[in-house]
Structure 1
């Protein structure tokens, strides 16, 4: 989670590198940085040096030309992290293509790898001039696509924000409807109880018949007064948002697997330690230095996994074979 400027821990012993003012004597002192060089200096020094116009950084050995408008408060305590975040944000605005912009997943992965290589060089200052030249050339050649992708990302963000507002509104309407329904139910129960007391006191009919008739009327009212779903009106007004919400709901329903399904039962083989005799591994398992945390089953399963791991991949069609493929046969590991 990114911390706000007000959440950054402020130490009393922090000092301005230029005027040596500290927060102990001046609690309202603000240390500012410039994204050109990320050297700290207090707000008073910034006003004193850069009010008349751009000037060189007063930090010894820097000399970069800085402007007052670019000074800001530091978000992270570590200036290196601050610099990395700025670089990644800048690169992400330029290299903003998505998977839908590529013909295959391999091309998209190569594109991401190239972007990460450029980001790495800028962060750790490796061939900075050459890397900056490549970034500027790419930005110049793909100016239209960058603007189009930025507009598309902004539209998706607005759509998600509207969807969140709609979901909160639906939840509030559902809570209000539940409160109203609860109040109406309480009033109906009170009316039924009062009606039963009145009928028992004023009429000479059988009390059991009066109670039975009242219960029948109560069930009939509950059936006719059943509330309508609140989302029907919202789906008519916001069809695009409703489709997006349904798609996100389907994605959330997919079970998460931290091991990407590696522990799932394979469709190619059945394994059981009881019907396989491996004297070599049993001898290793009985060694004293392997008695803790060593399982013969793990060795067997690893061999089986490596043997059958590439059967689902088709280099020519780049897709998985059908489940009813007659060439896919299930192997059973049994006693040799």
Structure 2
């Protein structure tokens, strides 16, 4: 009875619910589905009903409006699996946050659990309107971060595909090099054997052992050179793979450029606004003429210095009163940053604490003995 019910259900799947055409009579029939309602119908009915524009689903009880460009071929045999895959793809296309965008691993795990709950609600048709509204609101508020993460996923997929292509080309090149080395080694071995036989034929019996040893040395030298070359090529390939992994293995982070999140997702990192670039300072904040305790003036009233300033013989030699003012004031205020009493008290305290610690260690050592 069970097998008969399964056969009837399979036969119903092969019959178009609109025109009642069967694949048994027309083996070339193609069935299409629309992700709006997932009702399966033949391609001829789709062309006949939806070619002029959007129309209601012809299946009894379904009032959803369908469009021809949304029809596609069914991928999975079970319609439930097909629908769940589409829902999961759509939700993950919107909720595409990455682990580095969260403050902790626990927050990221909570996000994954929340995403699975949303998918389960849509698959099982639980609070569909509320869930769809939350998704739409989140998509509108975080459009930029969603696009950034999609771009990162495409970049990673492209990089992975390029890396796979490079590895395949490298494997093919290694096979070709190994084949060429094998052919070259075979030709060299054959030529060496021919040379060895010709030398034995033209030589004497006393030279046979010497010729054999020489040939064996030549073979060992060639095999050693070949192994050294193989090791060098292997190390070079490993270095290239390491540099490629270092360049493309670390994923980019979008936590700093992500948009403001709604209340749907918790635990995201705060957006860090980069500080404005400061103007270039060649002295690293040092102002040559700035002092903590005084300000250098252009001139100071002094009868002696005024006479020097007016004397052309002094100025002709390159004497500058500004350097004199700067050096004199620096020497006068040089000791204001030193607090001798505090340094002396700190030094005395260190002297007192050291003998105390030494005496305590000595007493502990005596007790242990």
- Report the TM-score, using the length of structure 2 for normalisation: 0.60
> Which residue pairs with 1:267 in the alignment?
none
* Cα distance in 2 between the residues matched to 1:195 and 1:12: 80
> Which residue pairs with 1:130 in the alignment?
130
Instruction: Return the offset for 1:128.
Output: 0.7
> Which residue pairs with 1:173 in the alignment?
173
Instruction: Return the offset for 1:233.
Output: 6.1
For the 8 Å contact 2:159–2:248, the answer to whether it is kept is no
How many residues get paired? 238
> Which residue pairs with 1:241 in the alignment?
244
> Which residue pairs with 1:220 in the alignment?
221
> Which residue pairs with 1:198 in the alignment?
198
1:271-282 counterparts in 2 under 5 A? none
* Cα distance in 1 between the residues matched to 2:13 and 2:112: 43
Q: Secondary structure at the match of 1:20?
A: coil
Q: Deviations over 1:312-333 (max 9, x none)?
A: xxxxxxxxxxxxxxxxxxxxxx
> Which residue pairs with 2:182 in the alignment?
182
> Which residue pairs with 2:293 in the alignment?
none
For the 8 Å contact 1:173–1:230, the answer to whether it is kept is no
> Which residue pairs with 2:21 in the alignment?
21
Bigger radius of gyration: 2
Q: Deviations over 1:295-324 (max 9, x none)?
A: xxxxxxxxxxxxxxxxxxxxxxxxxxxxxx
C-alpha change, 1:163 and 1:231, in structure 2 (3 Å) is farther
For the 8 Å contact 1:36–1:66, the answer to whether it is kept is yes
* Cα distance in 2 between the residues matched to 1:114 and 1:242: 33
* Cα distance in 2 between the residues matched to 1:243 and 1:128: 44
C-alpha change, 1:65 and 1:246, in structure 2 (3 Å) is closer
Query: Cα RMSD (Å) of the superposition?
Result: 2.4
Gaps of 5+ in 2: 1-9, 251-369
> Which residue pairs with 2:139 in the alignment?
139
Instruction: Return the offset for 1:239.
Output: 6.5
For the 8 Å contact 1:16–1:41, the answer to whether it is kept is yes
C-alpha change, 1:118 and 1:77, in structure 2 (3 Å) is same
C-alpha change, 1:210 and 1:231, in structure 2 (3 Å) is closer
Q: Secondary structure at the match of 2:32?
A: strand
C-alpha change, 1:177 and 1:156, in structure 2 (3 Å) is same
For the 8 Å contact 1:159–1:241, the answer to whether it is kept is no
Q: Secondary structure at the match of 2:185?
A: helix
* Cα distance in 1 between the residues matched to 2:98 and 2:13: 46
C-alpha change, 1:184 and 1:74, in structure 2 (3 Å) is same
1:301-312 counterparts in 2 under 5 A? none
Instruction: Return the offset for 1:217.
Output: 2.0
Instruction: Please say if 1:163 is aligned against 2:176.
Output: no
1:235-314 counterparts in 2 under 5 A? 241-243=244-246
C-alpha change, 1:36 and 1:246, in structure 2 (3 Å) is closer
For the 8 Å contact 1:170–1:231, the answer to whether it is kept is no
Instruction: Say which structure, 1 or 2, has more relative contact order (CA 8 Å, 6+ apart).
Output: 2
* Cα distance in 2 between the residues matched to 1:35 and 1:128: 16
Q: Secondary structure at the match of 2:39?
A: coil
Q: Deviations over 1:250-291 (max 9, x none)?
A: xxxxxxxxxxxxxxxxxxxxxxxxxxxxxxxxxxxxxxxxxx
| Greater percentage in helix | 2
> Which residue pairs with 1:287 in the alignment?
none
For the 8 Å contact 1:13–1:22, the answer to whether it is kept is no
Q: Secondary structure at the match of 1:222?
A: helix
Q: Secondary structure at the match of 1:96?
A: coil
For the 8 Å contact 2:32–2:72, the answer to whether it is kept is yes
Instruction: Return the offset for 1:223.
Output: 2.8
Instruction: Return the offset for 1:220.
Output: 2.1
